[in-house]
Structure 1
Amino acid sequence: MIDRPEGKPTTRDAAASPGSEHGYLAALKANGLPPRRAIVSAEELRLDLAAEASETLARSELLPGEGSAAARRATYFDTPAQDLVAAGFTLAIRHAPEGDLQIVEAAGAPAGLFALPEWRQPVAGEVPKLDDSTPVRALLGRKAQDLGPVFRLQTRQRCWTLDWEGATIGLVLEQGQVTAGDRSAPLCEIGLVLQQGAPPALFSLARRLDEIAPLRLGVLGEAERGYRLLGPVRNMHKAAPVALTGDMTAAESFRQIAGACLRQFRLNEPLIGRSNPEAVHQARVALRRLRSALSIFKPMLQDDDAGRLNEESRWLAGMLAEARDLDVLRTRCDAEALHARLEPAREAAYGRAEAALASRRARRLMLDLAEYLAIGPWLALPSGAEIRNLAAREFAASALDRFRRKVKKEGRDLAELSDEARHELRKDAKKLRYAAEFFAPLFGEKRRKRRAARFLDALEQLQDRMGALNDLVTAPELIERLGLTDDPEAAALAGSDRDKQALIEAAAEAHDAFVDARRFWR
């Protein structure tokens, strides 16, 4: 959570702010997009940076003086089974010279379940106050007596207030660590809070700061950092179900879906390395899902920025593609000699991937995507107003019908198709699968959930077979590019005509099963 400095003005509606040209916050509210539901925000930005870069930033001319400094300590409480966070709540006691403050947050609770997102009250020491002024006791029942400290935060904050492009923005540079038992994780981040003015200034300032010290979009709050220390070490992050609810509009569901894809990418990005191929794979999955979301919601995104962001995301995914292809090739062969021959190419591919991820172009893409989701021009286009305000469930049903028809039509006479046509079918089947995964939470009735599981299983079978066929078709080109055509082990990876025919038949059977699977949204 980014603290708003005591005594500082809170964010004003941009429509009422002097000098506001577009009324961005008013547009957000008019389109039913409350910031608490969104993964990205028009009012706050969290940015990660390396510890060594923090002093470069603090000494820059952009930040006047030393700023106001303060130490910050907080203790988080939960049961041993983490029942509180499982219910979507956190409980922390923040320690300060002026007194200790208990903060209960409902950021992860179902939207609309509670009127307040946060409860604050003074306490004495490290003993939570469990009365009826917060939902904690009612949520936990007898388990409330098991609450105890689970992790602690200790940081140093430096704060500045900046006038930037007609806006007033609070900047907090925070460094320290989160500790849970004998495990700890460093924290070094910048929080930007729009106190007054139009939201574009927030993103403009972030880009200017990135010119001084490399910054990356932050997606982890302090509570999540702590809870991650309580679980196993993760070497990659798969896509999590998107938190869609039946009262959302199409516009709100797009922001939630695309924001989840952005988050998945950022969680995997720091884990990417030569010894961790799964993080590369999941980062590419996140970018593919993001591009699929842009395609699914294309009727609503009638602006030039959507196309540009799609192409930039394609570029970044492409920079990871060679490393992933070589990892897949490596897993398909057992010969150590071939592994040794592949290793120099793999090292070089990972070097190029890591250089791309470290580039300003990649960092800017993440900021551009966050800005687009929060305040992009698609929110104000009159031509998209009707679709934006559609119920998410109605939009989802129409989109799923559209993509299903396409995959059904493209797969007719699959055995007679060219390799290029089968490749297009594979890509469209993947988009449909992502769309089905995105929208499945909107169709939560028992019978629909069973249908969704069967539909997704049929799609997964089709996608797996089409993927295996694509690997076989593209293997000769990859082997030739790597200069391995003289290696019998490598040549065997290209398969035979009989192997290809068997995969084509299996893919055709999977397509027939997909066509027979009942639609869960109708």
Structure 2
Amino acid sequence: MMQEVELKLVLTADAADQVARELPSDDATRTTMLEAIYFDTPEQTLREHGASLRIRRAGDTRIQTIKIDPAKGAGLFSRPEWERPVTDDRPRLDDTTPVFALLDGTTERLAPAFTVSVERRSWEISENGAEIELVLDRGMVRVGERQSPVCEVEIELKCGDPTALFTLARRIADMVPLRLGVVTKSERGYGLTGPVRRAFKAEPVSLDDDATTIEALRTVIGACLRHYRLNETILLETRAPEALHQARVALRRTRAALGLFKRVLGREQTAHFRSELRWLAQTLGQARDLDVLADMAAAKLGAGDVFDRIEAARGLAYDEVEVALESSRVRTVMLDLTQWLAVGDWSTGDATRAVREAPARAFAAAALRKRRQALKIDAPSLALLTDDERHAIRKDAKTLRYATEFFADLFVDAVQQKRQTKFVSTLETLQDRLGTLNDAATVPTILARLGMEDNEAALVDDRKHAKRLDRAAAAHSALLDRKAFWR
């Protein structure tokens, strides 16, 4: 078994042509046609367990590769890998890999799931004393009549300082626009076996119960960046409101994670990245507000002039989102953040070494306790707060919810799980009820921005305000009564 470390980046076909022209072409440059068959059971057992099995043919050589990737990351991949030569397109498995156990010691139910065909150009590059292999893959993933193009750069560290990966990535980024790659070729193939996705919700964060704080930090924030990039891709291609909503959620989750770990990461750099992500989230928020308003207008008023005016404003807001997402500012901050998480000074300094290397469970319990404490106001006071103050409570509730999801795997005994289920359910109810209040409070501001103040009465029913307040206060009291699952 070997440990693979690589940085994956995606780019357009035209950009790939430019990279191929700009990189040096010499005897060390290789071009290879690769044909791969990926295997799984009809129930996709391997996919379910974060595994992939392929047989790749290059010329007359066939190599079987097994990869295990249970904790998906953003851009920077590090996963166990097993390889062996085979003579044909039939998998050969034994008890030296975990796949054998997953399949109960048999390969009878394995069948081709999809194929990947790429032209691969490879370069061996020396960068600041490090030896790096750079590959440029262009091709297609196919399942029956469905297909998905592949155009990506993978930069793999052979030896030396991992910082060299990012130095090389930035040299390429100076040539062409690049985005972090978070989808493996196997994920592309599996994506073609099901319905077209309109958005991706946050995936469960997989943490070992003995994880250190630094391991938890990188896993949590890596999962947040992956969540964002999955939805950013769909948003750029389709302008799907669901993808915009989930991209915005991912940015909020990332900012929340940075705040939770700022004691380890350092305040100055954390503040910088949170500020950049806030700017992007606000840009997406303009469009999201109009999505919500359009749905409200459609439900209350139906088709007509009000709905048409909102739709026109929404189109312009999505134009602004597209401009932002295509900007170098967004691409750069994602690469900067990934590099900082991987090799930033915070990860080697003496000041936070003890907390970095301490068990994540203790860190998580302290963070959850602190976030819950922020919600402890008297329940009757909720009705006396201003809209902005209630919105601040709503943001605190979201941060607590995200922290609960991030650290769920660290509290897994029967009592903790039972308490966690009840805690999350009650927290979701509080979020929903505070969200309803916030939607009603923001509609007048949005209408004023559109010059449509005269339509406020038709869209907002103030008679329900008192009832909404009572329901939110009840949910708030219920949450404070819940036992902490992290004890």
Structures share fold, TM-score greater than 0.5: yes
**Matched residue, 1:296:** 260
**Among candidates 270, 282, 288, match of residue 324 of structure 1:** 288
**Matched residue, 1:336:** 303
- Would you say the 8 A contact 2:71–2:219 is kept in 1? no
Closer/same/farther in 2, CA of residues 205 and 438 from structure 1, 3 Å limit? same
Instruction: State the Cα deviation string for residues 261-316 of structure 1 (Å, max 9, x = none).
Output: 00000000011166510000000000000000011112212252221111111111
- Could you list the structure 1 runs, at least 4 aligned residues long, displaced by more than 4 angstroms after superposition: none
**Matched residue, 2:167:** 204
**Among candidates 335, 345, 360, match of residue 313 of structure 2:** 345
- Would you say the 8 A contact 2:71–2:206 is kept in 1? no
- Would you say the 8 A contact 1:237–1:279 is kept in 2? yes
- Would you say the 8 A contact 1:161–1:171 is kept in 2? yes
Alpha-carbon shift at residue 217 of structure 1 (Å) = 0.2
Instruction: State the Cα deviation string for residues 144-182 of structure 1 (Å, max 9, x = none).
Output: 311111111110011112233443322111100111222
Closer/same/farther in 2, CA of residues 418 and 398 from structure 1, 3 Å limit? same
Alpha-carbon shift at residue 58 of structure 1 (Å) = 1.3
**Among candidates 101, 110, 114, match of residue 63 of structure 2:** 101
- Would you say the 8 A contact 1:170–1:193 is kept in 2? yes
1:499 lines up with 2:450 in the alignment: no
Task: Specify the SS of the correspondent of 1:91.
Answer: strand
Alpha-carbon shift at residue 52 of structure 1 (Å) = 1.9
**Matched residue, 1:429:** 397
Instruction: State the Cα deviation string for residues 466-506 of structure 1 (Å, max 9, x = none).
Output: 1111111121111011011233xx4332432x332222221
Task: Specify the SS of the correspondent of 1:100.
Answer: strand
Taking the aligned partners of 1:474 and 1:145, their CA distance within structure 2 comes to 58
**Among candidates 467, 471, 481, match of residue 439 of structure 2:** 471
Alpha-carbon shift at residue 317 of structure 1 (Å) = 0.8
- Would you say the 8 A contact 1:271–1:279 is kept in 2? yes
Q: Bigger CA drift: 366-375 or 253-262?
A: 366-375
**If the length of structure 1 is used for normalisation, what is the TM-score?**
0.86
Alpha-carbon shift at residue 133 of structure 1 (Å) = 4.1
1:454 lines up with 2:422 in the alignment: yes
1:514 lines up with 2:475 in the alignment: no
Alpha-carbon shift at residue 204 of structure 1 (Å) = 2.2
**Matched residue, 1:366:** 334
Alpha-carbon shift at residue 411 of structure 1 (Å) = 5.6
- Would you say the 8 A contact 1:176–1:188 is kept in 2? yes
Gaps of 5+ in 2: 73-78
1:189 lines up with 2:152 in the alignment: yes
Closer/same/farther in 2, CA of residues 109 and 439 from structure 1, 3 Å limit? closer
Q: Counterpart amino acid of 1:432? A: L
Task: Specify the SS of the correspondent of 2:177.
Answer: coil
1:72 lines up with 2:34 in the alignment: yes
Q: Counterpart amino acid of 1:502? A: K
Q: Counterpart amino acid of 2:423? A: F
Alpha-carbon shift at residue 143 of structure 1 (Å) = 5.6
Taking the aligned partners of 2:325 and 2:55, their CA distance within structure 1 comes to 37
Instruction: State the Cα deviation string for residues 329-371 of structure 1 (Å, max 9, x = none).
Output: 1111222112211122111100000110010000001101111
- Would you say the 8 A contact 2:38–2:52 is kept in 1? yes
Q: Bigger CA drift: 239-248 or 403-412?
A: 403-412
Taking the aligned partners of 1:219 and 1:63, their CA distance within structure 2 comes to 27
Q: CA RMSD in A?
A: 2.1
Closer/same/farther in 2, CA of residues 118 and 466 from structure 1, 3 Å limit? same
**If the length of structure 2 is used for normalisation, what is the TM-score?**
0.92
**Matched residue, 1:381:** 349
Alpha-carbon shift at residue 431 of structure 1 (Å) = 0.3
- Would you say the 8 A contact 1:164–1:205 is kept in 2? yes
**Among candidates 377, 381, 397, match of residue 413 of structure 1:** 381
Task: Specify the SS of the correspondent of 1:58.
Answer: helix
**Matched residue, 2:103:** 140
Q: Counterpart amino acid of 1:85? A: R
**Matched residue, 1:7:** none
Q: Counterpart amino acid of 2:152? A: E
Q: Counterpart amino acid of 2:80? A: P
Gaps of 5+ in 1: 1-9, 11-34, 37-42, 111-115
1:179 lines up with 2:142 in the alignment: yes
Q: Bigger CA drift: 277-286 or 374-383?
A: 374-383
Taking the aligned partners of 2:372 and 2:244, their CA distance within structure 1 comes to 29
Alpha-carbon shift at residue 410 of structure 1 (Å) = 7.4
Alpha-carbon shift at residue 142 of structure 1 (Å) = 6.8
Taking the aligned partners of 1:132 and 1:241, their CA distance within structure 2 comes to 29
1:82 lines up with 2:44 in the alignment: yes
**Matched residue, 2:12:** 50
Task: Specify the SS of the correspondent of 2:264.
Answer: coil
Task: Specify the SS of the correspondent of 1:299.
Answer: helix
**Matched residue, 1:399:** 367
Alpha-carbon shift at residue 462 of structure 1 (Å) = 0.8
